[in-house]
Structure 1
Amino acid sequence: MTITEILGSITELLLAGVDTTSNTISWSLYHLAKEPQIQEQLYQEVIRACPGDKVPTSDDITKMPLLKAIIRETLRLYPVVPGNARITAENEIVVGDYLFPKKTLFHLCHYAVSYEESIFPDPQTFLPQRWLRGGDDKIKQHPFGSIPFGFGIRACLGRRVAELEMYLLLSRVIKHYKIRPDPAGKTVKPIARTLLCPATPINLQFLDRRALQEEERATA
């Protein structure tokens, strides 16, 4: 690749990783605010892996399986790209009992697959434990049940960067703030605008954990 091509690719990676990762983090915080028990479990996991003011490293991330599971479950519920398409241009293919001639356009709706009840029991519910090893022996995930970053040679080039960015941000926010839902109790639904994004603003309360701990000590 030429320097111009490299710079262009890096620019695209950075631009493609702004709204995509920020939307996913927003949805994660939205559900954690509504699920205080899961939020507390994540907080305990983060402070065990990164005590004090330590900033997580890649090694620390490997010690936080719940953090990874929360991001995966968020991406299942809200795949950033709700659908994409591919054309089989060279040869006809057989899938199951169906014959597809060449130049057939295939459209995959990630959003619909992510809510398939035969693959994800209780699909409307935010359940990060789906992705934890040994979390529930009855739940066995299909390897292609949720592929928000695509798969194979056309998979998202920025996947690892995006995942690390989301792990770092979510762990730092949860470590310093307790998240509570919108006092108005509004439900936020997704809408497809090229990317899948919140249809209305996500309003949350961020309470400083250190201040809350000081208040608790003062009243004890």
Structure 2
Amino acid sequence: MQCRQCLKRCPNWTWVFPIWKVFSTRVWRDFVKVADYFGEVSNKYINQAMERMKTMEPDSGRELTVLEKFLAADPDPRTAMVMATDMMAAGIDTTSYTAAILMYFLAKNQDVQEKLFNEVVRFLPAKGDPITSASINEMKYLKACLKESMRMQPVTIGNIRKLTKDMVLSNYRVPKGVTVIIPGILISNMDKYFPEANKFLPERWIKGLQPEVKHHPFVSLPFGFGPRMCVGRRFAELEIETLVAKIVRNFHIEYNYEDMKFKNILLIVPASPLKFKFTEREI
């Protein structure tokens, strides 16, 4: 009874009293279950990588995987565990939602989809042709489509930073320690920075394809910038570009419903069902 009275007197008790350390709540049990599963999966592939490195010939010429390179630099499997777990926790929902949103924009802009298909088919003449890093790097329109999709509908609202020193921003003195939010999803959809901002125009990211409109380089930062930039950016872009290139090469995408709605659940994700129609291409 005394504990209950203390909690009632303290309106912010939820911030100072970690309930889960005393009472095993269902949310906490679910969290532990998922975290344990992440650990099991990470350990599995870390152990496999370590075994491969033990048996690999020094002059084999085989390029190391990302995980193998990480273990070569730091053989402590606990460090690799942190990296692998972070990649699963932060790199699954973000990339999958980003890929789905890009496919939605391609489905709603059929002319853009056909331009992208014409580009992809140049590098993948046959459906079964493998995608290489060299071919992905040459698919400039694909990269522009991804940039435009993330400009219009990124999966995060923007970037948040706590100032480490006093600064003057737009003639306002902002003291050290204040948290500053850059609402990227808002400013990247303003005509002030991107003419016809409500239109899906990948060409705006390719020099020479339309009159260039210079915009501030910090207007659209879906991966952040500087020391706190998303460490998995290149990996995420490669995943999304590879997936979308394969889908566009093999299928025609349609979305025959009203405009997609979105919701904020820490990430900004589709609230509408992802009911795409895929029609296999004949060539």
TM-score (normalised: structure 2)? 0.70
Q: Which amino acid in structure 2 is aligned with residue 93 of structure 1?
A: M
**Counterparts in 2 of 1:7-156, with a 5 A limit?**
7-52=81-126, 53-89=128-164, 91-156=165-230
Q: Which amino acid in structure 2 is aligned with residue 75 of structure 1?
A: M
**Higher strand fraction (1 or 2):** 1
Counterpart of 2:274? Answer: 202
Q: Which amino acid in structure 2 is aligned with residue 79 of structure 1?
A: P
State the distance in 2 between where 1:23 and 1:8 align.
Answer: 23
Please point out which of 231, 234, 240 is paired with 1:157: 231
SS at match of 1:178: strand
Deviation readout 1:21-45 (Å, 9 max, x if unpaired): 1111111111111211111111110
1:192 aligns with 2:267: no
Deviation readout 1:116-136 (Å, 9 max, x if unpaired): 211111111111111111111
* Deviation at residue 65 of structure 1 after TM alignment: 0.6
SS at match of 1:148: coil
State the distance in 2 between where 1:116 and 1:101 align.
Answer: 28
* Deviation at residue 168 of structure 1 after TM alignment: 0.3
SS at match of 1:74: helix
Identity of aligned residues (%): 36
Q: CA RMSD in A?
A: 1.5
Give ranges in structure 1 of 5+ residues lacking alignment: 214-220
State the distance in 2 between where 1:88 and 1:181 align.
Answer: 43
State the distance in 2 between where 1:98 and 1:207 align.
Answer: 55
Q: How many residues align?
A: 208
Instruction: Report if aligned partners of 1:179, 1:204 keep a CA contact under 8 Å in 2.
Output: yes
Q: Which amino acid in structure 1 is aligned with residue 239 of structure 2?
A: E
State the distance in 2 between where 1:33 and 1:135 align.
Answer: 22
1:170 aligns with 2:209: no
**Higher helix fraction (1 or 2):** 2
Counterpart of 1:216? Answer: none
Deviation readout 1:126-151 (Å, 9 max, x if unpaired): 11111111111242232112100000
Instruction: Report if aligned partners of 2:204, 2:212 keep a CA contact under 8 Å in 1.
Output: no
Q: Give the number of the structure whose alpha-carbon radius of gyration is greater.
A: 2
Instruction: Report if aligned partners of 1:34, 1:180 keep a CA contact under 8 Å in 2.
Output: yes
> 119-128 or 80-89, which moves further after superposition?
80-89
State the distance in 1 between where 2:91 and 2:217 align.
Answer: 24
Instruction: Report if aligned partners of 1:79, 1:111 keep a CA contact under 8 Å in 2.
Output: yes
Q: Which amino acid in structure 2 is aligned with residue 87 of structure 1?
A: K
SS at match of 2:243: helix
* Deviation at residue 96 of structure 1 after TM alignment: 3.5
Instruction: Report if aligned partners of 1:78, 1:190 keep a CA contact under 8 Å in 2.
Output: no
Q: Which amino acid in structure 2 is aligned with residue 33 of structure 1?
A: A
